[in-house]
Homo-oligomer: A and B are copies of this chain.
Amino acid sequence: MERHFDQELDDLKKDLLRMGSLVETAIFESVEALKSLDADRAQRVIDSDREVDSLENAIDEKTLDLLVLRQPVASDMRFIAMAMKIATDLERMADLAVDVAQRVVDLAVAPLLKPLIDIPQLALVAQRMTRGALDAFVAKDAEQAAAIILRDQEADLLRNAIQQELMEDFMMKDPASVPRAVPLLLVARHLERICDHATNIAENVIYMVNAKVVKHRPENLPPSS
């Protein structure tokens, strides 16, 4: 019986890592599709969301079954409850990558306004924060999770810089650029929100490890590695 329970927890962890890997791929693919304005590639990101949705449902059902049937205690309980919360965040992150892909479909009718530099940079931050938060979860490493939370500021700064450039250097100088600039501005916001969700995951990891709530309570943050 004990062995079987460990196996179930391990399956749950694998489902979350699979979801995380799909999210990372969706972020990368949606921004690659944006760089080349490839609507077919964007459509594949949109279609791939179904697997993420199924995984979220599967994780919700597994966690509730585990809670009901196994009546776990202490750290196992926290692991299972956090798995449910993390799945919610990952599903929203995949939806945001779909939002990026949707903007590519909107944009693919005309050339890009400019070569993209800051948006791929922000996408890279989003991918690294996603990977880092999941790694911290698997390693049960609160310090690694705290380091992820600090990276969120970088994402905010990049988002603001992208927005300012699009408004001041494009939309306000050339009104005809508006239909091509607004979707890029939204892409920056979608990517920054992905980073916010990675931050949520990192906060949940710290709770799982230390049994201390850090969300809205920075004084409980461990020193970052």
Contact = CB atoms under 8 A, between A and B. Distances in A.
Contact of A88 (B77, B88, B173, B185): B88
Interface in A56-99: 56-57, 60-61, 63-64, 67-68, 71, 73-74, 77-78, 81, 84-85, 88
A78 B56 contact: no
A153 to B, nearest CB: 16
Contacts of A179: 167, 172
A84 B80 CA distance: 13
Q: How large is the interface on A (under 10, 10 to 19, 20 to 34, 35 or more residues)?
A: 35 or more
Contacts of A176: 172
A3 interface: no
A54 B182 CA distance: 35
A178 interface: yes
A218 to B, nearest CB: 11
Copies of this chain per assembly = 2
A53 interface: yes
A215 B53 contact: yes
A73 B64 CA distance: 10
A172 B63 CA distance: 50
A213 interface: yes
A223 interface: no
Interface in A153-212: 163, 167, 171-176, 178-179, 182, 185-186, 189, 207
Given A167-B182, A173-B175, A178-B167, A68 B74 contact: yes
Nearest to A49: B216
A217 interface: yes
Given A172-B178, A172-B179, 9 more contacts: A57-B217, A67-B67, A67-B77, A68-B73, A85-B88, A88-B88, A171-B171, A172-B175, A186-B189
18 contacts: A50-B216, A54-B216, A56-B215, A57-B213, A57-B215, A60-B215, A63-B81, A64-B81, A68-B73, A68-B74, A84-B85, A85-B88, A88-B88, A163-B182, A167-B182, A171-B175, A172-B176, A189-B189
